[in-house]
Amino acid sequence: MILVQMSDMHVMPPGARAYGVVETSAMLPPALAAAARLTPHPDCLLLTGDLVDAGTPEFYAALRTLLQQATLPFRLMPGNHDGRDALRAAFPEHTYLRGHDGYIQYAIEDYPVRILALDSVVPGEERGALCGTRLAWLAERLAEAPGRPTIVALHHPPFACGIAHMDAMALTEGRAELEALIARHPNVERVICGHVHRAITRRFGGTLVSCCPSTAHQIALDLAPDGVAGFTMEPPSLLVHAWVDGALVTHQAYIGEYPGPYPFG
C-alpha cells in the first residue's frame, strides 16, 4: 500500500493570493503531478485538512475543479479553515463526508493498512478538539480490528511542536485521552496530521506522529518562545506512507520537477 498525504492546500479562487502573497490554487496542480509521477502508482491520496482557505461554496468550487486533475482516488478531511456543510455540498458523491453525529469521521478499509480519519475542527476557531463523542467513535473503530495495522489521521497535531503561535492553536482538548487510547492499541502504526505546514516527527502514545508539510506556504521555523508568526516559501512537499516489509515507512517528497534521476553507473 502506498498512501500519499497532502495537507493544508488552502485553495482559493484562481488568481487570489493568501495573505497577499501565496497563489495557493496554482500550487496544487504541481502537487498532484508529483503524486502522479510516483512509482509504483500510489493507491490513495488523503488530504488532511485546510483544503481551502475559507470554507465557502466559491472556494470549494475552485478545489473541486483542481481535483479533477487527480489521478488517484482521494479522500477529504476538514481543517480549521474548512466548513463542514460547504465541503459536503461541494462533494456530494463523497458520501463518507456525511460522517457520524455531525462530525466528518470515517474509516478507509480498502488497503492492508486501515485508515481512521478524525474530525478535530472547532467551528469558528483555529484550535482543535476531540470531544467525548469523537473519541468514542475512535475507540469503537479501534476495538473492531485490534490486530490490523492502522493509521489514525487528524488535522491538528496532538502535541506542542515548539512553534509558539502554532502551539496555541494545536489540539487543545482531548489530547491526553487520545494518547491514552492510542497507547492501548499497539497496532496503530502511525498518527498523521497537518496544520503546522512543516514536516515534524514526535513520539506519541507508544507510536509516532508524523506532521505533513503544506503543498503551498510553510510555517517559519522559529522555536523561540516569543517567535514571530510568519510563513516562508520553502519548497512544498508531501508525505508518502508506504507499507514495506511489515511496517509503515514515511518518505517526504518535494513537489516540483528536479534534474535526474542520474544513473550511478
Q: Are 201 and 155 in contact (CB under 8 A)?
A: no
Residue 16 has phi, psi (to 5 degrees) of: -75, 150
Under the binding rule (CB under 5 A), the answer on residue 173 touching Fe ion is no
Please, what is the Cα angle at 231 between 230 and 232, to 5 degrees? 135
User: Residue 155 Cβ, how far from Fe ion at the closest point, in Å?
Assistant: 8
# of chain residues touching Fe ion (CB under 5 A): 2
User: Does 50 help bind Fe ion (rule: CB under 5 A)?
Assistant: yes
82 binds Fe ion, rule: CB under 5 A: no
Classify residue 262 by its DSSP letter.
P
CB of 121 vs Fe ion, minimal distance in Å = 12
Please identify, using beta-carbon distances, which residue of 8 and 43 lies nearer to Fe ion. Answer: 8
Q: Which stretch binds Fe ion (CB under 5 A): 34-42, 47-55, 101-109, 126-134?
A: 47-55
How many residues in the chain? 265
Instruction: Give 50 or 119: the residue with its C-beta nearer to Fe ion.
Output: 50
* Burial (CB count <10 Å: 0-12, 13-18, 19+), residue 177: middle
What is the C-alpha separation between 181 and 143, in angstroms, rounded? Answer: 10
Query: Going by C-beta distance under 8 Å and a sequence separation of 6 or more, which residues neighbour residue 258?
Result: none
Q: In the bound complex, what is the minimum distance in angstroms from residue 39's beta carbon to Fe ion?
A: 29
Q: At closest approach, how far in Å is the CB of 145 from Fe ion?
A: 31
Between the two ends of the chain, the Cα-to-Cα distance in Å is: 30
Choices 32-40, 43-51, 87-95, 138-146; region in contact with Fe ion by CB under 5 A: 43-51
Minimum distance from CB of 8 to Fe ion (Å)?
4
Q: Which stretch binds Fe ion (CB under 5 A): 2-10, 36-44, 63-71, 234-242?
A: 2-10
Stretch of 31-39, 50-58, 134-142, 173-181 lying at the interface with Fe ion (CB under 5 A)? 50-58
Angle at 103 between CA 145 and CA 62, to 5 degrees: 115
Residue 182 beta carbon to Fe ion: minimum distance, rounded to whole angstroms: 23
What are 93-100's contacts with CB under 8 Å, separation 24+? 100/137
CB nearer Fe ion, residue 111 or residue 231? 231
Taking contact as CB under 5 A, which single stretch among the options 7-15, 141-149, 156-164, 221-229 is the one that binds Fe ion? 7-15
Q: Which of 4, 8, 43, 114 binds Fe ion (CB under 5 A)?
A: 8
Cell of 70: 487527480
Is residue 220 within 8 Å of residue 179, measured between CB atoms?
no
Q: Considering beta carbons, is residue 80 or 207 the nearer one to Fe ion?
A: 80
Residues that bind Fe ion (CB under 5 A): 8, 50
